[in-house]
Structure 1
Amino acid sequence: MVTSLAKAQSAGEGDKAQLSIGIIADPQYANKEARGSRYYRESLGKLRRAIAELNQHQLDLVVTLGDLIDEDFSSFNPVLKEYQALKVPYYHVLGNHDFSVSDAEKARVPETLGLGKATYFSQQHGSWRLIYLDGTELSVFRYGIGDLRREEAQAYLDKLTEAKAARGRPWNSGLTAKQFNWLEQELQAAKQASQRVLLFNHLPVLPAEDGHNLWNAPELVTLLEKHDHVAAYLNGHNHAGNYAQHQGAHYVNFKGMVETQAETAYAIVRCFQDRLEINGYGAEPSRSMR
């Protein structure tokens, strides 16, 4: 159930958030002219102002939901410098545009974003488990021409295209079977530890007909709906934003920061025992989700 933020705050007045997280989606910075509603160069200033605001709040961490850059490996350096001003730890999930670099540079992207060999991982924060997914593992953009993994992804995409699935687009991607197995183990471990779960990924999985969805979104939703301790799945990718509720879990697609010349979009998610509260800034709406 989604209620107005003001109503929820008054109802829960006096309680304290168990976890507070800054959320940034799709800055998609590049030093180039705007195209349509995407103002790539302006993202640097918007990001700087967002970080200054986030530093005014008591946060535990900040998560960027993919597409830190739009293209060109040289775009990483100026945008990552802005993150150094953050007063709390920050983490990135991989997005499709993060691999809009030369084939020779693609393998360097995860390390550049502070990720190790395992580009999906989890963290425990008291009664919460945070799961960071890598929705780019199965993709046609992450690997260079001639790479077997790219050929396998193309075969997967061809099947989706033949089935006329809305999510069957080359700018979308999916999880590997290995990552699915790992996720199942993480969900089970969280349940045994009596932890609620937040998942972060670049690509959405709901609503079902979104053309930006993860290639294997139906399989992921089927897995998550078996676990009633999953509180929310948080993502970017669709710059317009979106929201769905399914089997008690909330699926929130945050708006892209790169959109529009002046208006920004980012948020703070606060986790309480009985609800999640999203404080939206700029174009991002505020929500309270029981």
Structure 2
Amino acid sequence: MSTSPYGTTNGRRAFVKDGVLLLTAMSLGNQALSAPLAKRESVKIGLITDLHYADKPPGGSRHYRDTPAKLAQAGIEFQKEKPNFVVELGDLIDAASSVKTEQTYLRKINAEFSQVCPERYYVLGNHCVDTLHKEEFLSEVEQPKSFYSFDRGGYHFVVLDSCFRSDGQPYGRKNFTWTDANIPAEELEWLTADLEANSKPTIVFAHQRLDVSNNHGVKNCPEVRKVLEKSGLVEAVFQGHSHQNDLNEINGIHYCTMVAMVEGAGIDNNGFSLLNLNADGTIHLKGFHKQQAYDWK
């Protein structure tokens, strides 16, 4: 057993065993930790993020045309593991010079994504609406809303949309700067009401990060975190956007940033995961290729 750089954070001790980060509760004061475990069922979720599909040459470390092969590899693993559903955490496509080209990218990669799992959920990323309006993207993927929630197996799941400017205007048609990501007042009010009406342990999915205040973070993330913390039931947030493995714990909530699928050439540079929410309340993230694996005890 070796000591992790994460050390002790907010009532939990972190350590590494066999290359997997383990987080062990030191205190059961958090409501999420004391949720009625007997009511939970095992739920398995496929996670992918930052595919950035586009039919164009590589840009730096991003190999856009390699995404379909990487997605197919993830699909093979998901068919073996049979997740209940798959969540795409944003930036399914990369920016294009025209609406027509962007729609071509989206139709191609979404047709292939549709073969991976019959039940899919999409998080809006800034690149998803660089050229398109939100309504155009959502219509193509047959998802009615950009932020919403649903229940499964004794768990509550929340999907957030941070693709809004500081003035509350939604991203679309190149009308934004990617560093100006916000969750507007209307969505925060919805989130507050949604969590207040909930009594189940909760998992949140986002694109822009809620645990940092740099260019990759939601500008009003401290306010968002207060809402999540107040519920006492949010156990983890899974997010993308910065293309790297990262993990932070803030006031009892794990913020897990997933590696981008688009980074690096060929399927050996792939990255995706399976999230296992177990009936005993433990959480296991099985990482593939460049995605880090985690266990929360």
Q: TM-score range with shorter-chain normalisation? A: 0.7 to 0.9
**CA offset at residue 79 of structure 1?**
0.5
How does 1:256-271 map onto structure 2 within 5 Å?
A: 256-262=260-266, 263-271=269-277
Aligned residue in 2 for 1:84? 114
**Structure 1 counterpart of 2:124, from 70, 75, 94:** 94
Aligned residue in 2 for 1:164? none
- DSSP 3-state at the match of 1:56: helix
Aligned residue in 1 for 2:34? none
- DSSP 3-state at the match of 1:27: coil
Confirm whether residue 199 of structure 1 aligns to residue 204 of structure 2: yes
Aligned residue in 2 for 1:126? 153
Letter in 2 for 1:186: D
**CA offset at residue 278 of structure 1?**
0.4
**Structure 2 counterpart of 1:18, from 7, 17, 42:** 42
**CA offset at residue 205 of structure 1?**
1.1
RMSD of aligned Cα (Å):
2.6
Aligned residue in 1 for 2:85? 61
Counterpart Cα distance in 2 of 1:40 and 1:141: 26
Counterpart Cα distance in 1 of 2:217 and 2:292: 21
Aligned residue in 2 for 1:274? 281
Aligned residue in 1 for 2:219? 215
**CA offset at residue 269 of structure 1?**
0.6
Q: Is the 1:5–1:286 contact (alpha carbons within 8 Å) kept by the matching residues of 2?
A: no
**Structure 1 counterpart of 2:259, from 236, 250, 255:** 255
Q: Is the 1:136–1:142 contact (alpha carbons within 8 Å) kept by the matching residues of 2?
A: yes
Letter in 1 for 2:270: T
1:181-208 Cα shifts (integer Å, max 9, x gaps) = 11111111223xxx100011111111x3
How does 1:29-40 map onto structure 2 within 5 Å?
A: 29-40=53-64
Aligned residue in 1 for 2:198? 190
**CA offset at residue 66 of structure 1?**
0.4
TM-score (norm 1): 0.81
Confirm whether residue 112 of structure 1 aligns to residue 140 of structure 2: yes
- DSSP 3-state at the match of 1:75: helix
Counterpart Cα distance in 2 of 1:8 and 1:170: 31
Counterpart Cα distance in 1 of 2:109 and 2:126: 17
1:13-35 Cα shifts (integer Å, max 9, x gaps) = xx996111000010000010101
**CA offset at residue 61 of structure 1?**
0.4
Aligned length: 258
- DSSP 3-state at the match of 1:135: coil
- DSSP 3-state at the match of 1:42: helix
Counterpart Cα distance in 2 of 1:144 and 1:134: 17
**Structure 2 counterpart of 1:28, from 49, 52, 60:** 52
**CA offset at residue 252 of structure 1?**
0.5
Aligned residue in 2 for 1:224? 228
Counterpart Cα distance in 2 of 1:107 and 1:235: 22
Counterpart Cα distance in 1 of 2:134 and 2:235: 33
169-178 or 181-190, larger mean C-alpha shift: 169-178
Cα 1:53–1:172 change in 2 (3 A) is: farther
1:39-65 Cα shifts (integer Å, max 9, x gaps) = 011111101111111111031100000
Counterpart Cα distance in 1 of 2:185 and 2:85: 29
Q: Is the 1:257–1:266 contact (alpha carbons within 8 Å) kept by the matching residues of 2?
A: yes
| Structure 2 gap ranges (5+) | 1-11, 25-37, 96-101
| Structure 1 gap ranges (5+) | 155-168
Cα 1:101–1:143 change in 2 (3 A) is: closer
**CA offset at residue 8 of structure 1?**
9.4
Confirm whether residue 136 of structure 1 aligns to residue 163 of structure 2: yes
**CA offset at residue 73 of structure 1?**
2.4
Counterpart Cα distance in 2 of 1:113 and 1:46: 20
Identity %: 24
Aligned residue in 2 for 1:47? 71
